[in-house]
Amino acid sequence: MSLRASGFSLWCDFIERDFIDSVFRELLDNNIIYGATSNPSIFANAILKSNAYKKDKDRLNGKSAKEIYENLAFYDIKKAAKVMLPIWERDNNDGFISIEIDPMLCDDASKSIDEGRRIFKEIDMPNVMIKVPGNESGFEVMSELYKSGININATLLFSKTQTKKALDSIGNFKADSKKVVLSIFVSRFDRMLEMKNKTKDSNPLLGIYNATNCYNIIQNFDNPNIRALFASTGVKDDFIAKDYYISNLLFKNSINTAPLDTIRAFMQSNANIITPIDNIDSYLAKFDLESMSKELLDDGLNAFKCSFEDMLEHIC
C-alpha cells in the first residue's frame, strides 16, 4: 500500500515568509509535503533573524510588541493557508497550517478560549488549526474551541494519560469538516535518556515505542476526524539516520511533521507503510513514563514561553 493511500501525510514544521514563496511551494507542488505546523519558537527565530520581516516591522513602529507579532505571524499563517487551500479542498485531512495560542496563557483556560476564537476569526481561513498544549487547562480549551467549529492541534503530548484526556476533551463530537491532530512528541524521550545516562544509542527505542502506544490509543478511538501526528522528529546526532523518526513511525492514518533536513533525507529513502510493533509494554515498563512526560511537558511549556517573551522583548 502506498503512503498516500494509507492515509499517511508528511508535514513541515517550519514557517518563514521567504520560505513560503520558495521551497515550501516546491515541496507542495511535488507532492512531498501536505501541511505545515508552527510554534512560538519557530516564529521567534524567523521574525528575529530573517530580513523578510524588517519592512513590516518598520511599518508597524509604535504598535505594541504583541500587536507587531500578531500582524507578522497572522500574515504568514494566512499566506501559507492560501497556498495549501487546494490541498484542503481536495481532502480536508490535509492542507492545514497551525498557529499556537499565546503560551503565556497556557494556564488560563478562559483567556485561551477567547484568544483561540479571536485568532481563528482574524486569520479567517478554513484550513487553520489552533494549537493548544496538552496541560489541564488545555484540555478544556480544546473542547470548547472544537465545539465552536475550530480545527485543533493538541500539542506537547508525551504520555498515554495526556492522549486519553485530549481524546476525551473532543469525544465523539464531530464538528462538520473540522479536524483534530494529536501531536505526540517523540525524540525528546531519547534525548532525555542520553542526558541522564550519559550514553548514546544508535537505535533509540523509547520515543518510538511510547509514540506507538499513543498512536494505538488514537486509532482505537471512534472519531474519524482525529489523527495522530508525530512531532519532534528531527535527529540531533550524526550516528542516527536523519529520517529515523519518520521511517520507524510510518503508520497508516498518521502525520509526521519534520524539519527540512529530515524531510530531504526521507525523500531519498524507499520506505513504505509499516505495522506498529506489538509487545512493547515490557520494554516501556522499565521507565517511569508519567514522570518523564511531566518533566518534558513542563520543559516544553517553559521553552515556548521563553521564546515568546524573548521575541516580544526584541521585536520592536
Catalytically annotated residues: 131
The residues facing 183 across adjacent strands are: 229
Q: Which amino acid is at 171?
A: G
How many angstroms separate the Cα of 223 from the Cα of each of 27, 34, 198, 238?
30, 21, 41, 39
**Residue 95 Ramachandran class (φ > 0 left, ψ -120 to 50 alpha, else beta):** left
Rounded Cα gap, residues 273 and 288, in angstroms: 30
Query: Count of alpha carbons within 13 Å of 9, Cβ hemisphere only?
Result: 26
Q: Which amino acid is at 280?
A: I
| Of 104, 96, 95, 41, nearest in space to 73 by CA | 41
Per DSSP bridges, beta strands 128-133 and 97-100 are: parallel
For residue 266, give the nearest of 231, 235, 236 by alpha carbon.
Answer: 235
Alpha-carbon distance of 209 to 251, in angstroms, equals 13
